[in-house]
Amino acid sequence: MNHGLKVDESRECGETLASILLNSADLFRLDLNGVQVLLPAVISALETVLPEKDLKLKSNVVSKSDLRRASIHLLISILVLPLHFQNLTIKELPTFISPMISEKNHVTFAQLKSKLMNLLINALQVETDSQNTHMLLGALLLSVQDSAAAEEVEQVTQPDTIAHDPTVNLLSSVTSDSASQISISSDQRSLGDTSDITTLQEECIAFDSAHALFVRATYLVCHRLISSWKTDLNISLAALEILSGLARTRIRETARKLTDALECKRAVKWLCDYIAYQCWRPPPAHSKDLHSSIVAAFSCLRTWLTAHSQLLQDKDCLTTVLEVVELGVSGTKSIGKPGEPIKMKDEKELKPASMRVRDAADALLTVILEQVGYFPSACGAQSLSSLLDEVSLLRHCNSWTGGRVPRQAAVERFRYFVAENATILALLEEPLGNDQDPQPTVTVLIRGPFGRHAWTMQLRHLPRHRSSIRSVNTNPGRPLPLAEAAPRTDYKPKFFPDNVDRIPHCKVDESIPSLEAVMNDSDIVRNEHQILSQLLERQMTIETKI
C-alpha cells in the first residue's frame, strides 16, 4: 500500500492511487497497529488530489467528486493526530532500493500539522461540491477549536517573532515542503519574497498556532462567502455556522496580536456586506431561502458582537453595524449609494425584506443595547434573563411571613397585562423588605421575546440624596399662593375653517333655513333670541374685564 501511494513526477492520479484513496476513507479510524507509518505517504497522495482544481485522472471509471469526498474523509480522520502524538517520531518502512535512507532525519507528527492545515485550506479554496464543502468547513472549525483547546490546556508560550513584523501576514497559505506560496486571494495579501518564506518557517511556529488558524479560517470563509458562496443557500448557512463557531472559540490572550482586532472588524464588515447584498437583490430573487440566509447572517453577526464586544468601541464598525440594522428594519439605508440623497429616518417608509428579517434586525439591536459588553458574566448564560420570578419577589416583600410560598398564591398577588401582543407585564404593588426607607413601590416583571427582566419603581417626592433630610418645623402649614398673574392670551374662537368663504355655494346649502328666516316666522322665537343675545353680550363684557 505504501508503494501504491507514491506519486510520480507528472502529479497525475493513477488508477492504483485512486483506488486506494477511494477505498481507504476509514483507514485511520480503525485504529490498526502501525497504520501511522503510512501517514507521510497518505498526505503526499492527498496533496495530489485535494488542492488541484482540474484533477488529472488516468481512470475514467472513478468520479472526481467521489474521489475528493473519500480523500476529505481521509484528511478529516488524520487532522487530530499531530496534536495527539505531537513530537512522536513516525517510523519509516524499510526499503531495499536505498539502504542509506535511514540516516536522514525522521519526521514527527507535529511537523505534519502545517502540511495538514495548508492542505485543508487549499482544498477548501478549490472545492465546488456542496457536500464536500460542508465536510471541509466542519474540518476547518475542528482544527481551530482543537488547537485552541490544546494551547489552553498545555499553556504553550508562543514566540513573538511575527507580532512585531508588519510585513508578515498570517493569511498566507505556505507549504512546508517547498518555497512556493499559495495565496488565499489576490488582494495584496502576499507574504513577501519567496526567499523569506523558508526562513519564517524555520524560525517561527506561530503559523500553526490557534490564533493563526483563527485568522486564516476567518478570512477564507468570509472571502468565499461574499464572493462565490452567497448564491448557494446550503453552503452559506454552513459558512455562517462556521463563522459563529469561530467567534465563540477562545484564543489565549497571550497569543492574540494586534491583528486580532483588525481581523474581527473585517469579519463583521464582510457579514454586513453579505446582508446588504442579499437585501438589495432584485424582487424576483427574494424567497424564503434567501431570507433564511439573511436571518442566519444576523444571528452570526450577533454572535460576533457578543463574543468580541470591543468591536463596538470602533466608530466605523459601530456605524456599519447600525446601518445594516436600519436596512433590516426599514428595508433601506438613510445614506444610500453614492449620488443618492440622504433620507431622514422619519421620512422613510418601512418596507423590510420580510418580517423575519425585521425581527432578526430587531433582535440584533436589542443585543447591542442590552447584552454586548455584559456577557458572558459570572452567572453564565442564564444572566441574560433575570433569575427573579413571582415567588422570589414575594419572599422579599414585607408581607411575607416566612415559609414556603406556593406559586399559585404568588401569582394571585400580581396583576398581569399584555403589551403589543408580545410582552407580558406582571405588577406587584408592595414595597420590598430590603429597602431601608419604604416608599410606594411597584415591581414589574417583563417577559418578552428577549428574556425576563425585573424593574422596581418608587414614588419619591425628593431625590435619594435628600430623602434623609427632615424638616425642623413640625407644622409647615400650607404653601403660599403665587401672586403673579398668568399671562392672558387673547384669541378669537373659530367655528369654521378659514377657507369656508371660498367654497362655492350650492342648493344643498339652502336646505337649512337661516336664523333670520326662523325669527321672522314667530314673535316668540324673536323675543327669546333677543334675550339670549343680551345674555351673551353681558357675559362677554364680564370676561373682558377679568
Among residues 337, 231, 242, which one has the least CA distance to residue 278? 231
Same domain, 216 and 364: yes
Same domain, 292 and 368: yes
Same domain, 396 and 271: no
Does residue 41 fall inside a structural domain? yes
Same domain, 269 and 351: yes
Rounded-to-integer distance, Cα 113 and Cα 79, Å: 8
Same domain, 317 and 427: no
Domain count within the chain: 3
Same domain, 367 and 397: no
Query: Please, is 211 exposed, middle or buried when counting C-beta atoms within 10 Å of its C-beta (0-12, 13-18, 19+)?
Result: buried
Same domain, 4 and 119: yes
Output the CA angle 201-205-208, nearest 5 degrees.
105
* Cβ 25 vs Cβ 73: under 8 Å: yes
Q: Which of 400, 425, 458 is the last residue of a domain?
A: 458
Q: How many residues does the chain have?
A: 546
Does residue 197 fall inside a structural domain? no
pLDDT at residue 400, as a whole number: 77
Per-residue pLDDT of the chain (546 residues; tens, 9 = 90+): 776 677 666 666 777 777 777 888 788 888 788 777 788 878 888 887 887 777 767 667 777 888 888 888 888 888 888 888 877 887 777 665 544 444 456 778 888 888 888 888 888 888 888 888 999 999 999 988 888 888 877 765 544 444 444 333 444 333 333 333 333 333 333 333 333 333 333 334 456 778 888 888 988 999 999 888 888 888 999 999 999 999 888 876 655 554 467 888 889 999 999 999 998 888 888 888 889 999 999 999 999 988 888 888 888 999 999 999 999 998 888 877 777 777 777 777 788 888 999 999 998 998 888 777 766 566 655 566 778 889 988 888 877 777 788 888 889 999 999 998 889 999 998 887 766 666 788 999 999 877 788 888 888 777 777 766 665 666 767 777 777 777 777 777 777 888 888 888 888 888 888 888 888 888 888 888 899 999 999 998 888 877
pLDDT at residue 209, as a whole number: 79
The DSSP annotation for 8-42 comes to -TT--B-HHHHHHHHH-TTGGGS--TTGGGGHHHH
Does residue 481 fall inside a structural domain? no
Task: Quote the domain boundaries for residue 342.
Answer: 207-372
pLDDT at residue 258, as a whole number: 45
- Show the DSSP H helices in 24-170 as ranges: 39-49, 64-78, 81-85, 113-126, 130-154
Same domain, 284 and 428: no
Does residue 354 fall inside a structural domain? yes
Rounded-to-integer distance, Cα 222 and Cα 239, Å: 8
Query: At residue 323, what are phi and psi to the nearest 5 degrees?
Result: -65, -40
pLDDT at residue 204, as a whole number: 40
Rounded-to-integer distance, Cα 514 and Cα 433, Å: 72
Q: What is the pTM of this model?
A: 0.63
Q: Which of 343, 372, 401 is the last residue of a domain?
A: 372
Same domain, 355 and 268: yes
Same domain, 229 and 342: yes
The amino acid at 252: R
Does residue 297 fall inside a structural domain? yes
Does residue 35 fall inside a structural domain? yes
Q: Which of 458, 492, 515 is the last residue of a domain?
A: 458
Please report which helix (H) or strand (E) contains residue 501, including its range. none
Same domain, 349 and 214: yes
Does residue 227 fall inside a structural domain? yes
- Show the DSSP H helices in 491-522 as ranges: 515-521
Does residue 220 fall inside a structural domain? yes
pLDDT at residue 194, as a whole number: 35
Same domain, 117 and 254: no
